[in-house]
Amino acid sequence: MKVGMLTSGGDCAGLNAVMRAIALNLYTNVKNVEIVGFRDGYAGLIRGEAVPMRRADFEGMLRVGGTVLGTTRTPFKLMSVPEADGSTRLAKMVAAYRRLGLDCLFTLGGAGTHRTAALLCAEGCNVIGLPKTIDNDIYGTDVTFGFHTAVDVAADALERVRTTSESHRRTMLVEVMGNKAGWLTLYAGIAGGADVILLPEIPFNLDKVCAAVTQGYAAGKRCIVIAVGEGAALDSEAPFKRRERVFVRTERGETTVTQHLAEVIQERTGAETRATVLGYIQRGGEPSAYDRVLCTRLGSYAAQLCRAGRFGVTVAVSGNRITFNALPDIAGKYKFVDPNGEIVRAAEETGVCFGR
């Protein structure tokens, strides 16, 4: 058996742990197995540059952050566009797959990665996907690997911000990653004890947020901590597309909604206000113990699917079970926070403001 692996899109903790689990399962249960990796995601497959990998390469990868293969973002929408030589990126990937004689290709990535994986399946390649993203927004799975590690990092940051905010009696806004889906902001906000949580799925009202800040100080709090999803939008911006929102904010001289909100809160409430952006620290570092276990389960199950000849699928978590979905059924779909879901209601009923 000869298989290939690639990691595509944004990096996250757990990519190496998943590859390790796939490899060790195959080495343990298949008499003769050859594994190759593709550098920098689909870009490596397009170039047809396969790197031979040995069992020893995988042994120490359980706790290593990032991805040893490297990754790039290769836009799905460009895969079928003819290039200068007349061929497409998709055609080059299919040709490389066949030239290398692969029996299966494991693709570790998010929504865009799954869409491209579905294209490869349609061209006759045996592909198994694995759901990676700190945004936890892949349709059809309860959780993605890398998500809980990012939650731990963001929640810890919120707690650290709170201690310095209390010392100075400040209002602090912490911007958390998540352009389309607010899962990371929601979980980190609750775990980090945020007073206000602003999500892309729930357009917020400035008056409501400022009132929450004023009421918090009136109740005797020494600081207010606000977790802001980077895709959060004012209710007045809700009808606009993302590009239109960016244009409007640029016209106002702002870079992010967090910056605008910080300025408005200080002006309206008189509370000293600061904003910080967590950025890429949410992606980095070694996976948490939870993610190491999850990655082992997902990777091992993907190897089982390969051994059974079950292709054109992506691994998923459903309740306590590891299962799979057909790639065409989930490719291009996203999972969003339900504004009226149980977890949002639970937070609101414990006093968290969502700006609505």
Active site (annotated) includes residue 135: yes
List the one residue out of 156, 137, 107 whose CA is nearest residue 282. 156
Q: Which of 135, 137, 152, 291 is catalytic?
A: 135
Q: Which residues are catalytic?
A: 135
